[in-house]
Amino acid sequence: MSAGSRVTPAPPAKRKAVTLSSLAEKKALGEPIVMVTAYDYPSAQVAEEAGVDLVLVGDSGAMTVLGYPSTVPVSLEEMLMLSAAARRGLSTPLLVGDLPFGSYEASDEQAIATAQRFVKDAGCDAVKLERGGVCAARAKAIVDAGIPVMGHVGLTPQTATALGGYRSQGRTAERAMQVLEDALALQEAGCFAIVFEAVPSEFTELVMPLIEVPVIGIGAGPATDGQVLVFHDLLGIYDGHAARFVKRYGDVRQAMIEGVEAFAREVRERRYPEPEHGYTMAPDEVARLRGLVSRLAADRAHA
């Protein structure tokens, strides 16, 4: 084909923005829902281009991008900054902001005020909170204030110490019933979706018929309505401990190290920059500049 007869490619089909009802519809149709975490503009852009349904600015960002030892220390202001950056990289997926530990548990008023900041200041479409019990009451208060809430049960990292560490939950019938009660309380509170984290696949399969809203699993087996993984885990960027449920779909950290090593090597060997990486000046301007610089050097020598 000659250059003259080249046909202009059609622009990529614009995807429809994901909504609460399109998620409910996916559940009804049995279409798997995809969620990933993102914590900044480039990771959100990657999630957008990959066509995921939901992006969670998870408090896992405390560990993956802020370097804290757990999710507990991350502040509300830090989560808002990460969420606002992710917002700027997204237009299609639903954006969910994770309420950090200590920002919603104390009272309904605190929970509503925090959730409102995620929506007003960071542009989130919804928020996520962990646990049933009193947190289900907080979820209801936020939902009643007009903000969609995603619940999170099973392994809830904000209270991992109380759960005996980062370990799977609901492995006895009694403990499994407690996880189910949490999920049902969050559903009753009006949550539009619930994350099941690190629970036995048999548990998920048994309780799915009782959950009317989309269930997004992470280490919860294949019976959920969707799956979520942490961006840095699935792409192999984070070098900390990886849970059993993590599958690596890339080795981006190694690729980044190799890229920076190559840059360092070329700088040290004076192979970078090459002429095409620089800017040029017209020869007459170079000549004029040479005169001006010599005059300045001479003036300084005599000063």
Of 4-12, 58-66, 160-168, 200-208, the window that binds ligand KIV (rule: CB under 6 A) is 58-66
The residue (of 37 and 114) whose beta carbon lies closer to ligand KIV is 37
Of 57-65, 81-89, 177-185, 269-277, the window that binds ligand KIV (rule: CB under 6 A) is 57-65
Based on the shown chain and the rule CB under 6 A, indicate whether residue 218 belongs to the binding site for ligand KIV: yes
Q: Which residue in 143, 89, 78 sits closest to 116, CA to CA?
A: 143
Pick the binder of ligand KIV from 26, 33, 36, 37 (CB under 6 A).
37
Pick the catalytic residue from 197, 212, 266, 269: 197
Based on the shown chain and the rule CB under 6 A, indicate whether residue 228 belongs to the binding site for ligand KIV: yes
Contact criterion met (CB below 8 Å) for 55 and 128: no
**Which residues lie below 8 Å from residue 112, measured CB to CB, with a gap of 6+?**
141, 142, 145, 147
Of 46-54, 55-63, 80-88, 181-189, the window that binds ligand KIV (rule: CB under 6 A) is 55-63
Site residues for ligand KIV, window 260-299 (CB under 6 A)?
Answer: none
Based on the shown chain and the rule CB under 6 A, indicate whether residue 230 belongs to the binding site for ligand KIV: yes
- CA–CA separation, 190 vs 283, rounded Å? 71
Pick the binder of ligand KIV from 40, 53, 60, 112 (CB under 6 A).
60
- CA–CA separation, 61 vs 96, rounded Å? 13
Based on the shown chain and the rule CB under 6 A, indicate whether residue 78 belongs to the binding site for ligand KIV: no
In whole angstroms, how close is the CB of 39 to ligand KIV at the nearest point? 9
In whole angstroms, how close is the CB of 274 to ligand KIV at the nearest point? 42
The residue (of 57 and 84) whose beta carbon lies closer to ligand KIV is 57
Token pair 């950290």: residue: 253
Instruction: Report residue 58 as tokens.
Output: 């998870």
Based on the shown chain and the rule CB under 6 A, indicate whether residue 59 belongs to the binding site for ligand KIV: yes
Site residues for ligand KIV, window 136-175 (CB under 6 A)?
Answer: 152
DSSP SS3 for 21:
helix
- CA–CA separation, 49 vs 70, rounded Å? 29
In whole angstroms, how close is the CB of 146 to ligand KIV at the nearest point? 23
Based on the shown chain and the rule CB under 6 A, indicate whether residue 98 belongs to the binding site for ligand KIV: yes
Q: Would you call 212 a catalytic residue per the annotation?
A: no
DSSP SS3 for 299:
helix
Q: What letter would DSSP give residue 44?
A: H
Instruction: Report residue 10 as tokens.
Output: 């059609």
Pick the binder of ligand KIV from 34, 76, 195, 199 (CB under 6 A).
195
- Write the DSSP assignment of 190-233 as a string of letters: T-SEEEEES--HHHHHHHGGG--S-EEEESS-TTSSEEEE-HHH
In whole angstroms, how close is the CB of 50 to ligand KIV at the nearest point? 17
- CA–CA separation, 139 vs 124, rounded Å? 16
- CA–CA separation, 99 vs 123, rounded Å? 14
- CA–CA separation, 38 vs 49, rounded Å? 13
Interface positions with ligand KIV (CB under 6 A) = 37, 56, 58-60, 98, 152, 195, 218, 228, 230
Q: Which residues are catalytic?
A: 197
